[in-house]
Structure 1
C-alpha cells in the first residue's frame, strides 16, 4: 500500500496517534535512484517503519538487477537523505511543516556540507536545456507539436528506453512545460544520453548524440523533434498512451478485503491499492472472457485493468483470451500491411500471443515469456513499459467484422501472471 514513484517521493513519514509528533524521511534529489523517475518503490512498512529505498527490484523485477564484470570498478553515492522530526498542536500542522522542510531541502540541493571527491558541489555541476517537439505525420495539424509536459532526462549512454533498467549510474530528469521547454539542472559531470517520452504518444526518444557534462557547463541542445512510431492512419485505439493502466476499469474491492485508506481518495490511481483486485476478474467473467467491441464498448468501463488468469478452483488458474471486435469498410490486400501496436504498462511471467479472426490460427505474434515486475500483486498501475509493433497482412483481415484475440497463454497455479495494457492501436497500411 505504501509505495510511490521516485519523482514524487520527496517526503513521507508517520504521525503519532496519541501525541502530535511526526517522523519524516525527506529525499531532496532522486539522482541516485535507479531506473528513472517513474520507478516505484516502498516508502514504509507497518510498525511503523519508515524506509529510504536506494535501490530494489520492486515494480521492475530481475531485469534491473545490477551485474558486474570480473574486476569491474564501480562506486556510487547514495543520498544524502534528511531525517526530520517535528511537533505541533495538530496533525495537519505536522504535515504542512514537513512539506515546508522538504521544499527547503530541495532548494539546498546539492548540499554544500558533503566533503567527498565523489560528490560534486553546485558549482561543479552542469545544466542542459532545450525545447522538445513531437511530429506525428498523421496528426490533423501537420506541423510539429509542442512536447507538452514531456519527461526529459539524462542517464548512462544506451539505447532508447534503456534508462528503465539502468542501475549503476546517476539519472537526472525534469518535465517540460506546455511549450516543451526544459532545463535539467545540477547534473554531475560525466557522459550521458538524452532520453525523453511524452504522455499522449507511444515509444521512447533518444537524442542523436551523447552529451558530456563538465564542471559548471551549460549545454543548450536547441529544438529537438521526436517522431513516434507510425506507419498509417489510426483505424481504432483503446486506452491512453500514458504508460499506466489508470484509465481502464478498476473494479470495486472485495468487501472482506477492503482497505479504507484509499477508498474515498479522489486520485483515481489510488483505486488500484486494494488487495485481491485481480481476482475480481473471475467474479466478473466467471465463464466467458472479456469481449471489447470498437465503437460500442467504453474502455473506462469495459476493459478490465489487468489481463489475468481466471480462478479454476483448487488454488489453480486458467489462461484467458480477450477479444477485440472491429469493423473494416475496406481492406487493402494482398500486399497491404496493417500495424497493431500494443503498449504494455506491466508484465509478469506471461506469454502474450495475438491471433487474427481465427481463434485457433497460427499466432501473428508471440512475446515469449516476459516480465517479472509483479506490479499487479503490488497494487501498482504500471511496471516496466514495453512496446510491440506487430505486422498484420491484409490477407488475414476481411471487409466487415474482424476479431483480434489477445491470449494470455500461460496457466499458473498462482495469481502472479498477467499484463496491464497501456494502449492499443490498429493502423492502416502506410500512406492510407
Structure 2
C-alpha cells in the first residue's frame, strides 16, 4: 500500500475525526431478569442431550454461561428463544473456548434470541448444509471495543445459508461474516458499530439485500482472499441496501503476520462498499450515503501490498456491475488513519481532501488486454448522473512517487448482469 504522509499536514486544520464509539445494541434487554443457576444448567443439558430433530426452547431471561454451547453433527435441529429482546445468552464469564454458540450439522434453525459478549465469535456454524439465522442478535457490551469478539454471526464452509431479520453489532472484524460458503442470502438485517458491517468472503452464489448497514468502518465487503480452502468466490448481488454513515473508527487488531489476518485492519473509516479481488459482483439500487472516504471501491489484491499469487485464485477484480445506486457525499474529508484513505484524500481526480463516490484502483490482468482503456476486466458502471459523481481511476503501476488519477469513466460505461440462483432460500 502506498504511504502518503504529507496530507496529514495539509488537512490537519480541517480533519474531522472518526467516531470512536457507537450506540449499544438497539435491542433493549436491560430489564430482563437474570436466569437462575438451575435454568442455566437446564439449557446446557438441552444442548448436551440434543438429538436429530430436537427443538431446544430457550425461556425468557438473561442467562450467564461459563461454558460454550455446542451442537456437533446433528440434523434438523431448532434452537428457539422468546425473542431477541426476551432471551439473552451471555458469555462474558466464559472460562474455556472462544465462540459462544458453535454448531456443526445440517438443516439447523436458529431463531429469536440474543448472544452477548463471547470472547471469540458470537455464533459460529461450520460445515452446515442448511443453516438459518432468523431474528438473531449478536453483540458486545465492553467499553473497550478491541476486547470484543471477531465475528457476531459467522457461518463458514456452509451451503444454503439464510440470515434474515437479525442484528450484528460491535465486532472487531465483521458483524455478519459469511466465509467460504455457497448459496447465501443476507436480508432485512442491521449491522452497526462493527469494523465491517457485512462481509461475503470467498463465497459463491450470494445475495445481500434490504439490509441497513451503518456506523461501521466499512459497510459491505465482498472479498476473495488467497490460500483459503475455497479459493475464489463468484456471483454476488448487493442490492436495495441502506449503506449509511459508515465512519466508525477501525478498531480491528491484526490476528497474526499473515495477509489474511490483517486485511480488515486496512479498511479506512468512511467506506461504503469495498470489492477486493471480487468476481462477478453486481451492486445496484443501494442508498450509499454520507460515507466520508468512498462510496464504492473496486480494488485488486495488489493494493494490500501482500503477495498476490496463490493456487486457483486471481488477485484481480473482474466482471463487476455498478448501476442505479444513490450517492451522497458528506462534508467531512476522507479518513487519514489508513493508507487507502490517504491515497483517496491526496491523489483523487477531483481535488485534495474530496470524498469519492466510486474508485477503481486500475490494476488489471495484462494477459487479458494491453490497455486498461479496453476495459479488460469488464468493470461496468452505469450510474445516473455519473458526470456529477466523483469517480477516480488510478494508475498505481509507477509506485508511490508516480501515482496518476483520472476522472474519465467512459471506458467503463457498459452493461453486465450477474446471475445467481437462490430462489429456494427466498421461500424459507
TM-score by length of 2: 0.23
Structure of higher CA gyration radius:
1
Structure showing greater relative contact order (alpha-carbon pairs closer than 8 Å, 6 or more residues apart): 1
